[in-house]
Structure 1
């Protein structure tokens, strides 16, 4: 059986469009969430999945209907997988022959779960990287305060234009541009360039 689910706690008008789409793909029963509390809609969805039997297909308009976060969506997809169910996401525009083949729908669900888990892991890793980078910036700022006046040109410079000049100097040095030419091009002193070069080489050796 094809069972549709409409998350309707935000926009009622959109749901009418979803009803029409579901009728076109052969949905026999539609579960509608009419609550306004976003914490309750997934509870109702999970309870509805519990009442489904093996080889049923949950039909939704988009993955957003399953939850507001990737963790919520993975939770629902895992529950579908554990119960031996399949999923049909209408806005993916899957070929009709795939829609009518339960085994293919089942395979798509497993592939979807793998992709979602991969995305979740990637997001976690990106957050960790940003946190680590933030800690580096904080440490660098603390070190600069402890050693006197903060450096005007550095990768942690407060002014974005000063940071840009710093990276331009590094790039030009790496391309063997003469220091005199760099000074003329960026309108900074040769001593400043030597200081940036020395700091860069020191950090690179660390």
Structure 2
């Protein structure tokens, strides 16, 4: 089945242009949504659509920005479609994953490479920032949540973990009872020589 997905960001915007393009393309079923595309969480029609797509269905959008507002979100959706073996068409960008369209695969791979490059740049900037902060003596690293000088609930949890360790409870038991990560419990155990 060829399914069209049309989305605008607000209720007062019009879907007519997208619906016309999707209908002219030959979509047999249309899903319409009037909600911001900033996050996928509030896009209930898209969620429902992705859960109903089946092998060899074709998802069609008038343009990529109607499906996703960020490259990571787009790539995540593309991965879901690939796993389901659902084909994808974006009319404006001339992307069509059917029949092993080399251009479409190339475009999606380029987009994936750009996303990976962006992630690597962020990591590099973060490392540089940490190095500069260390030179200035301003880098303290990630602050521990549960420690001897913690306050309030965090202090209570810390004291409970120490007491349980002193009573020879296993790290796994403490983890189950407190929901604190095992690595954190091991750190507390090491800090207290237990």
TM-score, length of structure 1 as denominator length = 0.53
Structure 2 counterparts to residues 116-155 of structure 1, below 5 A? 116-139=111-134, 142=136
Partner of 1:167: none
Alpha-carbon distance between aligned partners in 1 of 2:94 and 2:10, rounded to the nearest angstrom: 24
Q: Relative to 1, partners in 2 of residues 1:36 and 1:13: Cα closer, same or farther, differing over 3 Å?
A: closer
Spell out, residue by residue over 1:124-178, the C-alpha distance to the aligned partner (whole angstroms, 9 max, x if none).
11111222333344456x38xxxxxxxxxxxxxxxxxxxxxxxxxxxxxxxxxxx
Contact 2:57 2:86 in 1 (8 A): yes
Q: Relative to 1, partners in 2 of residues 1:112 and 1:49: Cα closer, same or farther, differing over 3 Å?
A: farther
Partner of 1:102: 98
Alpha-carbon distance between aligned partners in 2 of 1:22 and 1:133, rounded to the nearest angstrom: 47
Q: Relative to 1, partners in 2 of residues 1:113 and 1:48: Cα closer, same or farther, differing over 3 Å?
A: same
Contact 1:86 1:109 in 2 (8 A): no
Which runs of 4 or more aligned residues in structure 1 lie more than 6 Å from their structure 2 counterparts after TM superposition? none
Alpha-carbon distance between aligned partners in 2 of 1:47 and 1:112, rounded to the nearest angstrom: 27
Q: Confirm whether residue 61 of structure 1 aligns to residue 62 of structure 2.
A: yes
Alpha-carbon distance between aligned partners in 2 of 1:68 and 1:75, rounded to the nearest angstrom: 12
Q: Relative to 1, partners in 2 of residues 1:129 and 1:72: Cα closer, same or farther, differing over 3 Å?
A: same
Contact 1:70 1:120 in 2 (8 A): yes
Partner of 2:16: 16
Structure 2 counterparts to residues 28-177 of structure 1, below 5 A? 28-35=28-35, 38=39, 39-41=41-43, 43-93=44-94, 102-104=98-100, 110-139=105-134, 142=136
Alpha-carbon distance between aligned partners in 1 of 2:12 and 2:2, rounded to the nearest angstrom: 22
TM-score, length of structure 2 as denominator length = 0.56
Give 1:62 shift: 2.2
More helix per residue: 1
Structure ID, larger Rg: 1
5+ long unaligned stretches in structure 1: 144-206
Spell out, residue by residue over 1:28-51, the C-alpha distance to the aligned partner (whole angstroms, 9 max, x if none).
21101135695221x431321232
Contact 1:55 1:102 in 2 (8 A): no
Q: Relative to 1, partners in 2 of residues 1:8 and 1:40: Cα closer, same or farther, differing over 3 Å?
A: same
5+ long unaligned stretches in structure 2: 138-194
Q: Relative to 1, partners in 2 of residues 1:36 and 1:91: Cα closer, same or farther, differing over 3 Å?
A: closer
